[in-house]
Structure 1
Amino acid sequence: MIDWMRWHRNNPDPSGRGGRLGNISMEELMDHNKEDDVWMALNGRVYNVTPYMEYHPGGVEELMKGAGTDATDLFNQVHKWVNYETMLKRCCVGFLTSTSTTSAAANPHRSSSNPTGEIKIASTNFSSSSLYSPSQYSWCQKSDTVIISVTTHNARIVKSHHIIIDKNGLNVIMHIIINDYVFIIDIIILSPTSVVDDVDVIFKKVNVGRCWSVLGTSNDGDAWWGPFNVADLRYRKCKIVGKIQLTHDTNMFTIELPRDTRFLVPIGCHAFIQLVVDDDEIEVSCTYTGLNFELTYLQKLATKYDQVILLAAGTGLTPMIGVVRHYHRLVVRNTTMHLLSFNKTERDIILRDELGSFARKNKWFTVSHILSSPSDNWNGQTGRITKDIIMSAIKKDNLVGGELTNNQCLFCICGSKAFSNTAEGLLKEVGITDDQMYVFAD
């Protein structure tokens, strides 16, 4: 595997297409099914795996089972744990569609003379997402603005922070996250604009009064709809503008995005960060949490649950801060929150003073610190996560004879994999159901 990663990194053109991405029909994919010419589709993206054949640990025969096909199911049965997005990133040749006419369907801007326009996306093979899949995007203009609109069939599930905008000169790329899927708009617009920070995706014209005959021209991958993959991450060059030391080994950084980038991190999600060290790219904060938390739990915090218990180990505190802040902003608060923060020693506790102050000012919030290796002067709880510690945090109203009596409690868990697995197992032992717990994890 090390030999393959070295070849993959150093070869100037692993995909054989000069890095160009296109829309690939099933018919075109099926043509590449020979040992010296192998393409396969994984989660909506098509990869040229020909150069990988000699490096595959299972041999050529195993890899040929997926040659010229959508091999997603086959891959998940055998290698679901493998991070193919990184292994094959530069071997990607494009996006799988169910028709060979995608390019023509997706680029009517090139010939349109209307001052408004519409793009219909090619059909895809992601039938499970058909409930929310966008059928089109359109645009209109005023004397000073250009507005791009996307039809989602259910506007209520799209929030402001689900829309990411990057503008570099005339190139505008928008990612619209819908559940665990993404709709991508990638165009070269007709004339200069500036981004207006609004959920309606409004661009302000630099040349006010000029009437646009077309929106612009589509790039490869424009109007693409499919599953969100870690391999699709787009990195932006940012600037560190602030640094605060929280503990002896934990710092908080303030990062400034590029001027024409609009990017809000949803509650319960982590941003990926890349650092360049000795000419090698190092990835940090490599945890992605899907939007299921927001859709299933966050919107019901104030109505469904009587108590929310947050189980955090070390820097697992991070997503919990977002949950607490969100609830604090609500007008009606009928739920209580209890944060159990697990650390090794006193000096490992993150935001100890700030959390204590917040708890004193907000009666609905309680924080407890539990240390596994405390000093002799520590007066708080000690040990690792146990059933007794969990039960001690549950309100007496929800207990009868020491047993949980209802489903009014929600448990959120974040920490190391070992911590999360232990916490999840203990919760199930005391009768907590799957819909009463959420684990912030990959």
Structure 2
Amino acid sequence: MSDSSLKPPTSNAPLRPPQVKALASSGGLQLPQTAQQKLNSSASSSASGSATGNPRNKCALKPGYSLMNWIRLCNSGADLSGTGGRVVPVTKNELALHNKVTDGWMAIRGRVFNVTRYMDFHPGGVDELMRGVGRDATKLFDEVHAWVNYPQLLGKCYIGPLKENPVKVSKDTADFPLPAPISKPAEIVPRFDWIQKSSELTLIFYTRSFANPGLLLRRRNTKELVVRVLVEHKWHVFDFQLKDKVEWLPKTVKIGAETGKIEIVLGKEESAPWTNYGSHTSSKLDSPTLEEESYEYEVTRTKEFNDDSFELSLQSNQREVLMVPPVGYHVSLEAPLDGGVVQRSYTPVESSLLGLEANPPEGLHFLVKRYPNGPMSSHLHQLSVGSRVQLTPPRGGFLLSELTGHRNILLLAAGSGLTPILSLLQPILKRNTNRIESLLLFYFNKTKEDIWLKEKLEELHSQDERFSCTHFLSQAEDQPQRITTELLAPLFQEKQPDRCTYVAICGPSSFNTAAEDILTELKVKPNQIHVFRG
């Protein structure tokens, strides 16, 4: 299935004047009144039969909620469907659950639309539109104005087909073709390919755009290696018996955040063309199964970062394992302490952020905050080069694909919670699909001395003005600042074209809870929020 088949059914072309005129003359999407409502209306209306003097019972819209304002909102890139750009089939039972003003879905001729953001733009008023919410409103719609081009009007609100009610193309939608109803996306199974040069062998694995794959590569000997590709909590295992010997480690490993393509470039021990790559078998493992494993890593570098934090670089013992976590994932470090095994989660940091441009590809680098009563951080801090620790395979639940439908994104970080947030910056800023308009980082610390990588964040802003970082200090002498509703509210004003539509959060549990509570108060939906948890 191509990526284009997953996009909501909407035209890329702007509305031409005749289209705008047609929508304006139709009054948008208006549902019929009941007989009793009509009698009540006629008792207090003018001779035209409407309180507004319009026989079609339009209501006076609030300033800023005209048809043109709706068109501007539709063209702003806002995720009006709430699906992040995916087409998702909807059952009738699921449709019935979305029956509120703050969460309203409606089906018309087998197509389900999220009309929540359209409520205040509806010429017939919110109450009239609510009569069709949570149900199949085709009959209600057809009773009054079946001629309205609802796919054009609500195209950006399209969620997906209504199950057991197939799409029927009619005359009023002939100029607005929709994809055939689809089921949920099939499981992503990496597709293998290979290419070679005289001195190199490249193993290639294709997943899917924004699939956010992870990689665990393990060598058995010079001709045998195991490649494990992590996609959506499933490990796909490729066990290779190569044609001839290759060098270890790989020369390069590339994972395309946007393309989902993995390239592993291995040097051949002898330069010569191969007639084939060899052979392989494939299998699958659930993440929980693999997470029971751990790998021995050794310390290759330690360095003080500030008064209570330090840098730590690790690589596989014997250099026979290479691990690349997916964006936003963490690994757990284990150590035998106090008569048991203590485990803590840490998110690796890009080597370039620590000034380690030429570091080997198999290394993992961490910024670790040292806590006076923290057994693991204290243990890691006293390790010297050559010391050993155990690492688990990558863990996490972040879906990079959820961000593709959002152009204005807010990142909230507190203290050492910055590390998973850092992993998002480049994948978001570099994407070409639905290019980002603004990426805002609100970074909370106690004092200026606690801020991590301040200069690097400023440098990133100078390179790309779409990104900005604002610092908040809870122990600032002049004006202490904490996360509050008043601080975040301006970013989530309704109908504002550049309002933030997605939020990623990481910090202490109290910070995460406070942020979630505020966002809920601001009516940000759960599927527009991701909280990184260890």
| Aligned with residue 254 of structure 1, among 313, 324, 329 | 313
Structure 1 position 330, deviation (Å) = 5.2
How many percent identity over aligned positions?
18
User: What secondary structure sits across from 2:420 in the alignment?
Assistant: helix
Among 452, 471, 475, the residue aligned to 1:350: 452
Change (3 A) 1:206 1:431: same
Q: Which moved further from structure 2: 272-281 or 346-355?
A: 272-281
In 2: Cα distance, 1:230 partner to 1:135 partner: 19
Distance 1:145 1:203 in 2: 6
Give the superposition deviation at 1:357: 5.2
Aligned residue for 2:502, secondary structure, equals: strand
Q: Which residue does the alignment assign to 2:186? A: 131
Structure 2 vs 1, CA of residues 239 and 130 (structure 1 numbering), >3 Å: closer, same or farther? Answer: same
SS in 1 for 2:324: coil
Contact 1:184 1:223 in 2 (8 A): yes
Q: Which amino acid aligns with 1:294?
A: L
Q: How does 1:329-408 map to 2 (within 5 A)?
A: 329=430, 334-356=436-458, 358-359=460-461, 362-372=464-474, 374-376=475-477, 379-382=478-481, 384-392=482-490, 394=491, 399=493, 408=500
409, 417, 428: which one pairs with 1:308? Answer: 409
Query: What CA deviation, in whole Å up to 9, does each residue of 1:3-34 have, x standing for no partner?
Result: xxxxxxxxxxxxxxxxxxxxxxxxxxxxxxxx
Matches of 1:296 and 1:250, distance apart in 2? 32
Partners of 2:454 and 2:506 in 1: how far apart?
Answer: 18
Match of 1:325 among 423, 426, 430: 426
- Is 1:416–2:508 an aligned residue pair? yes
Rounded Cα–Cα distance in structure 2 between residues aligned with 1:252 and 1:324? 20
| Higher Cα radius of gyration | 2
Residues 133 and 225 in structure 1, CA contact (< 8 A), matched pair in contact too = no
Shift of 1:427: 0.3
- Alignment partner of 1:223: what SS? strand
Residue 323 of structure 2 is matched in structure 1 by 263
Q: State how far apart, in whole Å, the 1-side matches of 2:504 and 2:283 are.
A: 34
Query: In the alignment, which residue of structure 2 is the partner of 1:294?
Result: 400
Question: 1:296: Cα distance to partner?
Answer: 1.6
Asked if the contact 2:233/2:286 (under 8 Å) is kept, the reply is yes
For structure 2, list consecutive stretches of 5 or more residues without a partner in the other structure.
Answer: 1-182, 254-261, 348-393
Q: Judge conservation of contact 1:165–1:173 (CA < 8 Å) in 2.
A: yes
Q: CA separation of 1:381/1:359 partners in 2, compared to 1, >3 Å: closer, same or farther?
A: farther
Q: Is the 8 A contact 2:202 2:266 kept in 1?
A: yes
Partner residue in 2 for 1:174: 227
How many Å separate the matches in 2 of 1:138 and 1:326?
A: 24
Look up the SS of the partner of 2:504 in the other structure. Answer: strand
Q: Deviations over 1:378-400 (max 9, x none)?
A: x4542x322112225x2xxx636
Partner Cα distance (2:210, 2:435) in 1? 22
Cα distance change on mapping 1:230 and 1:340 into 2, 3 Å: farther
Cα shift readout 1:45-64 (whole Å, capped 9, x = no counterpart): xxxxxxxxxxxxxxxxxxxx
1:122-271 equivalences in 2 (<5 Å)? 131-132=186-187, 134=189, 155-156=208-209, 162-170=214-222, 171-186=224-239, 191-194=244-247, 195-198=250-253, 199-201=262-264, 203-209=266-272, 215=278, 223-229=282-288, 231-232=290-291, 234-257=293-316, 259-271=319-331
Q: Deviation string for 1:240-297 (max 9, x for gaps)?
A: 3333433322222233456454433332112332345589654332676546421221
User: Does the residue aligned with 1:229 lie in a helix, a strand or coil?
Assistant: helix
